[in-house]
Amino acid sequence: MSDQEVMITMKDVNKWYGDFHVLKDVNLNIKKGEKVVICGPSGSGKSTTIRCLNHLEKFQEGSININGTELIEDVKVVRHIRSQVGMVFQHFNLFPHLSVLENLLIAPTWVHKKPRKEAIETAMYYLERVKIAEQAHKYPNQLSGGQQQRVAIARCLCINPEIMLFDEPTSALDPEMVSEVLDVMVELADEGITMICVTHEMGFAKKVADRVVFMDAGQVIEENEPNEFFDNPQSDRLKLFLEQILSH
């Protein structure tokens, strides 16, 4: 693996909330264009891990390198990294006081300083892509959960990110809306963007992921390509976890 190909390197990352050790020596290397699914029981540190990547969470030890930039606590560095990393949240976090279109224009016009006209064209293109262009002038609260999450994905795409982080994107959705969001994510995966996705959707992991990472109690327990991961788990902890989530 040459340096050129590496997109994300996490090296011995440790994080504490007070005395509570949330991340223990997390090491993760992700290549450009790779799709990685992180799973694990709740409280295992999966969300915290990906939130460290765009500095929504600070870490105390170790190092993170994103697309050649060392993540340090410096406003400019953090902004530079965030401008390449899109994040989709569990609860969408659209801006309720702005229309769907305005939600998509904020980052391109204010962070990337694109002319408004160009930004609108890009925004409409991505709204088309997530099949929601006709709702452009509605407000987020007028849309269903699935539609809101698709808008949130489009909002990230508008900044043309190198990396997309998904933090349990379907967990807050009604069951019948999960597939419309997953469909968009599968399409996205086909385009070669680097994706890291925290999810419990094992079907999605099997279909899309190049690699599945299992975390428990703040540590990476096991990582493997999906077939091996699901059919031939090594650790007892993963075996138990897979039994629990696949038993239904």
Partner 1 sequence: MATYTMKEAKPAPTTNKGVVFWLRENLFPDVKNTLLTLAGLYILYAIIPPLLNWMIFDATWTGSKDEVVNSGARWIFIVEKFDQFMYGFYPEALHWRPNLVGILSLVLIFGFKYIGSVKLKIATIILFPIICFVLISGGWFGLEVVETEKWGGLMLTILVAAVGIVASFPIGVVLALGRQSNMPILRTLCIGFIEFVRGVPLITILFMASVLLPLFFHDGIEFNKLLRALIGITLFQAAYIAEVIRGGLQAIPKGQYEASEALGLTYWQGMILIILPQALKISIPNLVGSFISLFKDTTLVLIIGLFDILAMVTLTNSDTNWLGYEVEGYVFVTLIYWVCCFSMSQYSKSIERKFNTEH
14 near partner 1, judged by CB under 8 A: no
Report yes or no: 52 and 27 within 8 Å, Cβ to Cβ: no
Q: Can residue 89 be called a binding residue for partner 1 (CB under 8 A)?
A: yes
Contact call for residue 137 and partner 1 (CB under 8 A)? no
**Identified binder of partner 1 from the candidate list 69, 70, 79, 243, rule CB under 8 A:** 79
What is each CA distance from 144 to 135, 157, 166, 173, 174, in whole angstroms? 11, 20, 19, 9, 9
- Which residues ranging from 96 to 125 are in contact with partner 1 (CB under 8 A)? 96-97, 106-107, 110-111
Cβ 108 to partner 1, closest distance in Å? 9
Count how many Cα atoms sit within 13 Å of the Cα of residue 71 in the half-sphere of its side chain.
29
Question: Which of 88, 171, 95 minimizes the C-alpha distance to 140?
Answer: 95
Minimum distance between the CB of residue 214 and partner 1, rounded to whole angstroms?
Answer: 25
> 3-class DSSP state for residue 52?
helix
Which residue lies nearer to partner 1 by CB, 107 or 182?
Answer: 107
- Token duo for residue 31: 């290549």
Per DSSP (E only), the strands in 32-145 are 35-39, 61-66, 69-70, 85-88
Under a CB-based contact definition with an 8 Å cutoff, are residues 94 and 152 in contact?
yes
Residue 31: which of 169, 193, 153, 184 has the closest Cα?
Answer: 193
Closest to partner 1 by CB, 111 or 245? 111
Per-residue contact flags (x/-) with partner 1 for residues 192 to 211, judged by CB under 8 A:
--------------------
Encoding tokens for residue 2? Answer: 């040459």
Residue number with CB closer to partner 1 (107 or 212): 107
Residue 241 Cβ vs partner 1, minimum distance, rounded to whole Å: 28
Closest approach, Cβ 4 to partner 1, in A, equals 25
Give whichever of 6 and 106 is closer to partner 1, judged by the CB atom: 106
Query: Does residue 95 bind partner 1 (CB under 8 A)?
Result: yes
